[in-house]
Every structure is written in structure tokens, then in C-alpha cells.
Structure 1
Amino acid sequence: MQRYKLFTFLFFVCSWLGISSCSLEEKNLYKPVPEAIYSDAAGINNGVTGVYSQLRGLYGSQKGFTLTTMGTDIFQHGKDGGYKFMDDYSTALNASAGYLYDLWTNCYAGINAANTILDRIDAIAIDEALRNRYKAEVRFLRAHYYYWLTLQFGDVVYTDHETKGVVTNLGRTPKADIWKKMQEDTQFAVDNLDWATQEYGRITKGAALHQLALTDLLLKDYAGAATAAVKVINEGPYQLLPAYASVFDYNNQKNAEILFSVQYINNALFNGDGNQGNAFFTPAYDQFGLLRDVNQGGRPYTRFRPTPFFRNLFDKNDSRFDVTFRIYWFYNNPANLPAGKKLGDTVVWQISPGVTSTIAPNTDNMHWGIKKHDDPTRASPQDLNGFRDYFVYRLSDTYLIAAEALMLDGKPEQGVIYLNKVRSRAAKPGTTMPMLSAAQLNMDAVLDERARELGGEEGRWMDLVRTGKLIDRAKLYNPNAANIKPIHALRPIPQSQRDLSTVPFPQNDGY
């Protein structure tokens, strides 16, 4: 196997350098591969694409969903999966957890790829406007990876230059210092990017302003956060779609509400592991006489189950309930049709002895599903690798950030307008939703609205940490989180990172 990898690597090197053949004859032809890759504009462009590629490890992956969904106020664990300790906060949540190491290495791979571009791009003959655009994109992405790292782990290693060889002597940098660096990087992106891009999926000014608003909130610059968010709303080419359901229409993924999405494509060669969100929220419906079906959730991984709090959070006129939850299933197995039922009829569940309902129960085995990540284009319900783009930033999210920032800046009467705009759009046709008053606008109201609007889209755990609400709300609303303690507002630093460090690298408190 190692020999195969070596020959593959040699073939790659030879092909890249344009050498027609490789031999063992000694010649002074050596040129390090990175120098060859980043020797012209095309190489820089490929390098920038590589920085983007690390996003797929965060968005649409089981790791990304687990680290942002489990153990919050709106999701608890389902029947299957090995990471239930991230929901019950037991002692198994420790520095040896594989997903923590995976996240750490994933983000630092993206950061180092960004740093490599930034260290080399000024030496390349390239149009100056294009140079600044590439710099802006990778600086945005570097800040984005640090957002994940600092919200998950707190103080982490900060580096803004390419890592060459093995480096073991870097300690932890205070997260507030990193947030200031993130603010600088993201402001550079704001200043050097346009509202539109010819290549869909690249960072734009709108995405950069949205991220700047989030970073300003971390730094408690509430006026700055409000200014950035309102600029996206008032000056950007975006708009809230008239219907919430249209945002998640599979055939409408490139819509006016999307500021930034991670790209997945219907081509197995270039789709990596795909967006697998279709599976993780799907219950074990196939254990109840039904066949697996891409239109009913596909392959059931049964990882995340909505909490009772989340299920009961919606007003009766809120269209987001039906778009978010799958509560009905339909008979699709002719071998297991109950008497009097035909294919396509709504499944009738036994909720308790003598009690039946067409609404599915919400137990570990058979719980409500989430429909936002459905992908009916997969060839088989066994396929995990979906093709749906992953929405990272949406305009409705920007509205809620504006509401939060203005509230924290002492302007709730302005902030509530933005929150109510989101609520108004959510009303079912022909109905209205209750609007909040300025006096009702507080952090819990903002988080409740973020749950209704963004539930199941990753980010919840980090939102709760960012607002200082994780411990209180998880303990109050998640039946499995009774053991949660203040230490759990940070994850443990991966043990392998500490083992390899030659300088003091303290663990987070309590681990």
C-alpha cells in the first residue's frame, strides 16, 4: 500500500512539473511541489479552491452536525450513533473524542492552506484586482475556520503564516485576540469583494458583512454588528423569499436569500462525501414495516431527535413547522399493509396502549424527522452522499443578527422590526403571526426565533455558546442534558495536540 501511495505521488509530481518521464538518473531537476503549484495565477486559483474544499468537512458531514446539533435545547440524541455523550455530557466527552480531533485538523488544514496562499501570492505575476480578490476570499475563510475553533475550544493556536515541516512549539492564543484578527480578515474581505461573483459559491461582500457582524458580536461591538447586518439587508442584492418553503425547494437552491453556501454537485468524482444531512435526522421508520424511501427520509441514521421544547415552539400559523418537521409517513410496502389500508395512505401509529395517531411518536426509535436536507435525486435510499448545497448564511439569519445586535446596543425598538420581518414572512398564506413588542425582545426571544428559522441547519450549539445561554437552555429544555455544567461551554482540547506539543498547552477546565 505504501509503495502504491509513493508511486501515485511520484506520478503526480511528474505530471504537475510537466516532465515526460521519471527515472532514477541523477539530475538537478528538483523543485518543491508547493513552489511549482503556486508559481502562476492558475496555481493560485487552484490553491484558493483548496481552501474552500475544507468547508465540506464542516457542513453536511456527520462530524459537523454532531458538534453543532447534539446536546442543545432543540435536539437530543436518537437511537443510533456513538456520540451520545455529546448530548448527555457524561465523562465520555473527553479529549480522546475522534470528532474533536477531526474538527481541529480539518480547520487547521484550511487555515494553513489559506496562509500558504497569502505568503506566496505577492510573488506571483497576477492582475492586482484578482490578487486582492483571492486574498479577500482566503482571509474570510481563515477567519471562518477560526470561528469554529474558538467557539468550540476557546483559546487555540493562532498562526497567520504557512506551516512548513513539523511545528510543536506553538501555544494557545487568547480567543479575544483571535477574534480581533478575524475581524481584520473579514473587514479586508468586505473592502475587496463585490456583491456578486461570476462563479457561484465564492465569497461575496454580503457573506463577508454577515460574518463581520457575527465577529463584532463576539467582540461586543454591537453597533458595528448592527451596521454590518443592516448594510447587507439594505444594500445587498438579496431578499427574503415570499414563502419559507421556497428556500428549501431542491430545485431552487440558488435563490435570492442565500448569502453563502457550500457547493455539492451531482458528480461522484467531485462531490467528496456529499451532503449527508438527509440521513442524520431520519428515524428508524424501516423498523415499522415500511421500505426505505428517498421521499420519506432515505437511509435512517437516527442520530438527532427534536426535543419536546423544539416541537412545541411554533405558533399554529407558522409555516416553518411543516417545512422543518416530517411528522407523517406513508405506507409503501405491499407486504406489510394493515387491513383496510392501501399504498400511499398515512401511517397510523400506536402512541400508547389503545391510543393511535397519524402523527408519528417522538421516541428514540421513531421520532420526528427534519426535511430541510432532503435529497430526492439520490439514486437509492442507501446512498448517503447527497448533492444538495449546504446553506451557511441566509438573509433571514442576517435579519436576526441585526435584531440581536440592536437589542444589545440598547435599541430594541429598532431591533424588533427585523425580528418581526422574519416572523411575518413565516406566516401561512392568509394568516398572520403574533408580532413581538420592543419590551419582549430579549436574548431568549432571539434564540427562540433562531430555533424556528434555523433549526437543524448546524450552528445551534455555537449560537448558544456565543450568547452565553448553552448551560441554562440545555438543562431547561433537553431531557438528556441534566448533567451539563459550565465547563461544557467549551470542548476539551484534543489530547493528541497536547501530547505533541513541546510547550505548555493547558487543557480546558474540567477535562
Structure 2
Amino acid sequence: MKRIFYLIISLCWMAVGCEKTLNKEPLARIEVSQAYKTVDDAAKAVYAAYAPITLNNWTNQGYMHWVLGNVASDDTEKGGESGSDQLYAQQISLFNIPTDNDAIRFAWSSQYIGIRRANLVLENIPNITMDAALQSRYLAEAKFLRGWYYFNLVKTFGDIPLILSTTLPQYDLERIPKDKVYEQIIKDLQEAADGLPLAKDYANADRGRATKGAAQAYLGKVYLYLKDNPKAEEWFGKVITSNEYSLNDDYFSTFLRAGENSPENIFQGKFLNDQGAAPLNNIITTVFSSRARNGWGFNLPTQDFVDAFEPGDPRLWQTVFKNGDVMPDGLVGNVGNSTTGYLTKKAYVPEYEKLSGSINAGRDDIYMRLGKVLLWYAEAANENGNTDEALTALNDVRKRARQGDNVLPDVTERDKVKLRQLIWKEQRVEFGQEFERFFELVRQGRAGTVLRAYATKYNTPKGSGFQDGVNEIFPIPQSEINLSKGRLIQNHGY
């Protein structure tokens, strides 16, 4: 009996000891009050705010531009091994989207991570004793990033919580009207444009950071989404007339590693796969690569997308490839099990770009470039009745697209409605497979019409489930609604 008593006492002491051990505060955690003391702390905080742009792993796949921008549209089939392979993408392709869909969950969480980190920069870096010009630049970068993350969120989910402080209760926030969110995005981007340097003023080691031109370009894009064409034309025009950027003569090389610092590129997600012991790779090159080359075979360009190109347009075979095509490294193209017969050439990794045999290359995701700016400027100028300016910008893009061939004659159409359709068509092929198409269809007010027509034409369920007034935006992740205890209200129709 005495032995049992001592055993019980011992177990009790063990339990107390375990509780004390297991409930200790993390020893490696750095409190916010101690984390922002030096110039090096400031630099690390800004780097951290950029990181969600390149958040690209299988625990959290970041914003998932390829699913929300490509697969949701008529440009791309999901692909993969089967319909259930990466089911979240199949659900979005069919617009049968549950509120626990992984793509929307990743999109929400990754962008709010970026927003919190930008807010930490804005709240804490002003208290660090450092060079005033560098401090001002860091704050402008954070404002740009916060605006960029919020723009992704508002076009994806509509009304959302607007968080401008790190001290707000984490789960007690409600959604506010998207117009108010857009007001903050514009404010952040305008202040960023005032405080950011020109691209040419950055050192080579800092290439890829936000610039004045990037902030101006995104202001133009935001105003285009708000259907404020005069403002859109104004801000895109600032980028064009700055002469900071120029079209890359070789369209395809823009999407290779050699083209990452092209004078055409305005803003991109920067991957560094050739630096350091733990290189940062862009897994999208594996996701899009042929299963015949150990890729996963997702994001299959559709026949409808291929047919959108004019005869002889060199951009077609610089955007997609099919079996038998000669690739940039001299290999013969093999699309593996692609059900459309095509794969995305803009994501192809030539043998000479590989490191240690990996197809998971460190190639940048280019989000804003002059080719896009010119065509969005052309659209806004046309809507404003500035036909000459619209035609000049449109034809500049077509001239580059010819690449010396006798194709793609200049557009001379001056009727606003007809010219609008020609500009939209040019945008589709110029931006092909670059994560824009679905959101472009939505802002143009024709997503349902185009996607249901696609489903009918090709006798496929893809796009047939699109409901006007519902599927222009995606559902709020149910996990977020649960955490808010119902304060977050689900989007209509989900």
C-alpha cells in the first residue's frame, strides 16, 4: 500500500513538472519591442514583408495566381493526373467551390500575412535611428506592398476586413465595403509613388524591389478596375512617358532567367535559386512542367486560347508548346498526358537553366511589365475618346510582337466599340498564361457570357457553372468565418 502511495505522489510531481516544462514561454521568440532596434532589423522586416509574394510551397501555396487567374478562365484547363489531383483547382474550374477550398484559403492567409508584415514595418521602422532617406524608402516599400496585397484580396473576395494596425483584435474584425478598401489601396500606392525611387536608382543587389514606376502602374490598374478611365490613362501614361521602361525586342526571353532584369519588367516576385545554401525556388515551373519531364502537368492551355492568336503571330509558340516542337534548349517538346495537347512554354525550364538537375527553377514571376501597361493604357485611352493615343500604344505592342516577321499589321479601327474588342483580344494573347485572364473578364463585365459560351462550344462542364452575381468573386474561407465567430459574413451564393 505504501508503495502505491509513493507511486501516486511521484506521478503527481511528474505531472506538475511536465506542466511547468510544457507551458514554458518559447525561449527563441523575439518580442516586437526588441525586434526593431537597428538598421539591419529594419532591412529584415522589409524583406519579410516581400516574402509572401514568393510564398510558394505545399504547406501554403501563396496567392495561387495560376488557379484564380488562369484555371478559372477559358485560357487554361486544370490538368494534373486526374480530376481529383489538386481538387481545389478542379472545383474552381467548374465553379463548384466549397468554402473550405484550399486555393481560396491560401489566397486569404498569404495576403493577410503580407499585410501584417507591412503594418509591422510601418509601425516600427519610424522608431529606428537610421538614415532618413533609407527609412523613407522602406516605409514607401511597405505601403506599396500593403496596397498590392489588398488589391489581390479585394478583387478576389470583394468586401474584406481592412487592417491598418497590428494591435487590432485578430479575429474580431468585420468586412467593410470594397470601395473603402480601394480608397486605402489608392492612398497607399500614391504615397508609395511619392516615396519610392526610380528603377534606375536602385543598386543591382536591390533589383526587384518596388519602384515609383511599379506604384504608378498599379494605380493605373486599380483605376481601370474601378472603371475610372481618365485616372487609369493618367497613371499608365506616367509610366510610359517616364522612359524608364522599354519593350524587350525578344518577347520570349522576357520569361527566361536571362530576361528577369529586362527593361520591360516593372514588378515581379523575385526568386534566387542560385544564391546561398538554401536557394529559393519557384515551384510553379514544376507545377506547369510536362509529366514526361518529371513535372506535374498542370495549367494546360486550351484550344480556345490557341485559336485566339492571329495567323503567324510569333507569340503563340512562345507562349505554348506541343509535341514535336523544338524547345529553346534543342530538346523535342513532349507534353506528356496533357489533355489539350499543349503546355505553357513561358514556364518551360531549359536544360541550361537547371541547377543540380532540378526543374524547380528560381525564375521570377513577372506581375507587371510594359506590354501590359501599354494595352491597359490603350483601353483606357479608347474609352476616353483618345483614339490616336490608344492606337499608338496598341500598335507598339503589335510591332514588338511581329519580331521582324511580315505579320500582325497595324490596327487602324477608330470605332470605339470595335476598337475595344480588338484591344481586349490583344490583351488576351499578349498576357497569355500570366494570371490575368479571369479577373480581366470579370472587370470587363463579361465573365459569365464568355465562360458559359466556352462550355457550350466545347461541350464541357468547365465554365458552365458560372453564376452571374455570384462567381465574380470567391467565397470567404470557412475557417476564417469560424475564427471570427460569425462576424465575417459569407459572400452571396456560397
Question: One fold, TM greater than 0.5?
Answer: yes
Q: Is the 8 A contact 2:63 2:110 kept in 1?
A: no
Q: Equivalent residue for 1:17?
A: none
Greater RCO structure (CA 8 Å; 6+ sep): 1
Which of 88, 93, 107 pairs up with 1:87?
A: 93
Q: Find the aligned partners of 1:5 and 1:372 in 2 and give their Cα distance.
A: 50
Query: Out of 298, 313, 316, which is 1:318 matched to?
Result: 313
CA distance in 1, matches of 2:445, 2:326: 44
Q: Deviations over 1:106-162 (max 9, x none)?
A: 000100111111112222222222222111111111010011111110000101111
Q: In structure 2, what residue type is equivalent to 1:481?
A: G
- Aligned-partner Cα distance in 2 for 1:78–1:500: 33
Residues 1:65 and 2:63 are matched in the alignment: no
Match of 1:455 among 406, 417, 432: 432
Q: 1:410 aligns with which of 365, 368, 385?
A: 385
Q: CA deviation at 1:491?
A: 0.4
- Are 2:400 and 1:445 equivalent residues in the alignment? no
Mapped to 2, the partners of 1:258 and 1:237 lie a distance apart of 10
Q: For 1:4 and 1:66, locate their aligned partners in 2 and report how far apart those are by CA, in whole Å.
A: 44
1:373 aligns with 2:371: no
Deviation per CA, 1:377-432: give whole Å up to 9, x if none.
33466x45321111111111110111121122232342122112111110142413
Check the 8 A contact 2:301/2:340 in 1, yes or no. no
2:106 is the counterpart of 1:102: yes
Matches within 5 A, 1:57-456: 57=55, 63-80=64-81, 81=85, 82=87, 83-90=89-96, 93-163=97-167, 167-196=170-199, 197-198=202-203, 199-265=206-272, 266-267=274-275, 269-272=277-280, 274-284=281-291, 286=292, 292=293, 299-329=294-324, 364-365=338-339, 367-376=341-350, 377-379=353-355, 383=358, 385-436=360-411, 437-439=413-415, 441-456=418-433
CA contact (8 A) 1:112 1:163 kept: no
Change (3 A) 1:310 1:43: same
Which position in structure 2 is the counterpart of 1:470? Answer: 447
In 1, the alpha carbon distance for the partners of 2:38 and 2:63 equals: 36
Mapped to 1, the partners of 2:240 and 2:42 lie a distance apart of: 32
- 1:80-131 Cα shifts (integer Å, max 9, x gaps): 33221111112xx111112211111100010011111111222222222222
After superposition, the C-alpha distances for 1:189-216 in whole angstroms (9 at most, x for unaligned) are: 1111121222111111111110110111
Q: Deviations along 1:454-489, whole A, 9 cap, x unmatched?
A: 111122222222222322222223542112111111
**Cα deviations across residues 261-282 of structure 1 (Å, max 9, x unaligned)?**
211112474444x212223334
Number of residue pairs aligned between Structure 1 and Structure 2:
450
What letter matches 1:237 in structure 2?
E
Pair 1:39-2:37 in alignment: yes
1:256 is aligned with what amino acid?
A: P
SS in 1 for 2:471: helix
Change (3 A) 1:345 1:459: closer
Q: Distance in 1 between matches of 2:219 and 2:403?
A: 33
Conservation of the 8 A alpha-carbon contact between 1:206 and 1:236: no
What is the distance in 1 between the residues matched to 2:340 and 2:21? 46
1:499 partner amino acid: N
Check whether the contact 1:156–1:171 (CA below 8 A) recurs between aligned residues.
yes
Shift of 1:41: 2.3
Return the alpha-carbon distance in structure 1 between the equivalents of residues 288 and 73 of structure 2: 15
Shift of 1:167: 2.2
Distance 1:268 1:372, change over 3 A: farther
C-alpha displacement at 1:252, in angstroms? 2.8
Letter in 2 for 1:171: E
Conserved? CA contact 1:326–1:371, under 8 Å? yes
Aligned partner of 2:463 among 461, 481, 492 = 481
Contact 1:424/1:432 (8 A) holds in 2: no
- Helix, strand or coil for the counterpart of 1:76? strand
Q: Which runs of 5+ in 1 are unaligned?
A: 14-31, 287-291, 293-298, 333-343, 348-359
> Could you say what the CA RMSD is over the residues aligned between the two structures, in angstroms?
2.9
Tell me the amino acid that sits aligned with residue 438 of structure 1: R
Q: SS where residue 346 of structure 2 aligns?
A: coil
Moved more, 49-58 or 383-392: 383-392
Give CA-to-partner distance per residue, 1:312-347, whole Å, 9 cap, x none: 111223110121111233799xxxxxxxxxxx8968
User: Secondary structure at the residue paired with 2:296?
Assistant: coil
Distance 1:262 1:8, change over 3 A: farther
8 A Cα contact 2:63 2:106, kept in partner: no
Distance in 2, matches of 1:247 and 1:361, equals 22
Call closer, same or farther: CA 1:404–1:361 in 2, change over 3 Å: same
The structural deviation recorded for 1:62 is 8.8
d(CA) in 1 for partners of 2:439, 2:25: 40
Corresponding letter in the other structure for 2:407? T
SS class of match (1:464): helix
Between 147-156 and 362-371, report the one with greater CA deviation: 362-371
TM-score, length basis structure 1: 0.81
User: Matched residue of 2:64: which SS?
Assistant: helix
- Quote the Cα distance in structure 1 between the aligned partners of 2:423 and 2:336: 26
Alpha-carbon shift at residue 497 of structure 1 (Å): 0.9
- Work out the CA distance in 1 between the residues paired with 2:55 and 2:424: 26
Unaligned runs of 5+ in 2: 1-19
SS at match of 2:300: strand
**Retained in 1: the 8 A contact 2:247–2:370?**
yes
Change (3 A) 1:4 1:182: farther
- Over 3 Å counting, the alpha-carbon distance change for 1:510 and 1:369 in structure 2 is same
Which stretch shifts more, 408-417 or 238-247? 408-417
The amino acid across from 1:506 in the alignment is I
Q: Alpha-carbon deviation of 1:307?
A: 1.8
Measured in 2, the distance between the counterparts of 1:159 and 1:61 equals: 19
Alpha-carbon contact 1:318-1:428 (below 8 Å) kept: no
* Secondary structure at 1:391 match in 2: strand
Question: Counterpart amino acid of 2:476?
Answer: I
Distance 1:120 1:370 in 2: 43
Q: Distance in 2 between matches of 1:385 and 1:94?
A: 30
User: What is the Cα deviation at residue 5 of structure 1?
Assistant: 12
Task: Report SS of the residue matched to 1:488.
Answer: coil
Contact 2:289 2:347 in 1 (8 A): no
Deviation of the 1:79 alpha carbon:
4.2
Shift of 1:371: 1.1
- Cα 1:313/1:63, change in 2 over 3 Å: same
Give the SS at the match of 2:47: helix
The SS at the match of 2:367 is strand
Q: TM-score, normalised by structure 2?
A: 0.84
- SS at structure 1 position matched to 2:399: helix
Alignment identity in percent?
26
